[in-house]
Amino acid sequence: MHTDVNALFENLWQNYLSVTPSAQKVHALLGSSQQDDVINDHIALRTFNLPKVSLDKLAAHFLALGYKEGGEYHFEAKKLYAKHFEHADPTLPKVFISELLLDKCSASLKSTIEDLVAQIPEEAVSADNFLYSGTHWQVSSSTYQQLLAESEYAAWVAAWGYRANHFTVNVNYLEKYAALEDVNAALKQAGFLLNTAGGEIKGTPEVFLEQSATLADIVPVQFLDGETQIPSCFYEFARRYPLANGQLYSGFVAASADKIFESTNAR
C-alpha cells in the first residue's frame, strides 16, 4: 500500500496519460486558462467481484490513506455495483470504484475472467503499484471480442487491467468557465468528441451534479495475436451544486454514472 497519497495519484495520472494521449491536451486546454493547475474531482477504477480483486480490495488502498466510504450505487442492466470514497481534504480526488457481478454474467464470461484473475499473484493486489499495474495476463483479440459481445466493461478490464479509466476535471475550480456547457463548447471547438449517451450533459442542478465526458481515445493494444486499436480511457468534467446546508454535493448520481460508463464504448 502507498503511504503517500500524492505519489499514488501522480502514478495513476502518468499511467493514464500513457494510454490516453488526448488527456494531456485537455489538461493543457483547461489548465492554461488559469493560474492554478486543474483540480480533479474524482478518478474511477474498474474490477470484478472475485475475492482476490474485489471492489473492497481496491478500496483498501484508499482506506489506508484516510479515505472514507461515501455512497453505493447499483447498475442493474450493466450488472455492476459501485461505491465512492472521499477524503477529508477536499482537494484530494474522490474515488469511484465499480465491480462486475460475475454471477449475473454467462458461465463462459465468468470462467474467462476467472482464468485471467487467477494469473495475478496474490501479493500483487496489495502492492503499492497495483492500482496502476495494468494487465497481469494476455488475451487474444477473439477473447476480447467475445467479452465485448456480452459486456463492454468486462472487455475493457480484460484489455487494460488495473488503471484509472478516467480523471475528472472539477469544473467548480475552473476560473474561466462556470457553466459545463461552456467547457463542452471549448472542448468541441478544440476537436474533442463528447459522449452523447443520455445527452452531452448528464444530471441537472436538481440532482446537484452535472457531468460530461470525452469519448475514450482509440489506441493500439497488444493482444496475443497482434496489435489492435480499441478504446482506452477518457476525460470527464463535473460541476457540483450546493445542498440546502450550503455544502457541495459530494456523491454520484447512478442514472448519470450509467451513461458515463459508456464513454469507453466503441465509436
93/62 Cα distance (integer angstroms): 11
Three cell numbers, residue 120: 495475478
- The sign of the dihedral angle between the CA atoms of 26, 29, 33, 36 is positive
184/179 Cα distance (integer angstroms): 9
123/121 Cα distance (integer angstroms): 6
Three cell numbers, residue 139: 488475451
From residue 26 to residue 45, the character string flagging contacts with Ni ion as x (rule: CB under 5 A) and all else as - is ------------------x-
Find the shortest distance in angstroms from Cβ 168 to ligand OOG. Answer: 6
Total of chain residues touching Ni ion, rule CB under 5 A: 2
Q: Which residue is nearest to ligand OOG, using beta carbons?
A: 257
Nearer to ligand OOG, 112 or 165 (CB): 165
Nearer to Ni ion, 81 or 223 (CB): 81
User: Which option in ligand OOG, Ni ion, none does residue 232 bind, with CB closer than 5 to 8 A by kind?
Assistant: none
Interacting residues toward ligand OOG by CB under 6 A:
44, 46, 96, 98, 165, 211, 236, 252, 256-257, 260-261
Q: What is the DSSP-derived secondary structure letter of residue 262?
A: G
Nearer to ligand OOG, 150 or 224 (CB): 150
User: Which option in ligand OOG, Ni ion, none does residue 252 bind, with CB closer than 5 to 8 A by kind?
Assistant: ligand OOG
Find the shortest distance in angstroms from Cβ 42 to ligand OOG. Answer: 6
For β-strands 209-213 and 166-170, DSSP reports them as unpaired
Find the shortest distance in angstroms from Cβ 198 to Ni ion. Answer: 14
Residue of 101, 91, 73 lying closest to 9 (CA atoms): 91
Find the shortest distance in angstroms from Cβ 3 to ligand OOG. Answer: 26
User: Which option in ligand OOG, Ni ion, none does residue 55 bind, with CB closer than 5 to 8 A by kind?
Assistant: none
CA atoms within 13 A on the CB side of 24: 8
Residue 228 CB: number of other CB atoms within 10 A? 13
56/158 Cα distance (integer angstroms): 19
Find the shortest distance in angstroms from Cβ 95 to ligand OOG. Answer: 10
Residue 146 CB: number of other CB atoms within 10 A? 18
Nearer to ligand OOG, 125 or 260 (CB): 260
Among 236, 239, 258, 259, binds Ni ion (CB under 5 A): 236
Three cell numbers, residue 206: 436538481
Find the shortest distance in angstroms from Cβ 30 to ligand OOG. Answer: 17
Q: Which residues form the interface with Ni ion (CB under 5 A)?
A: 44, 236
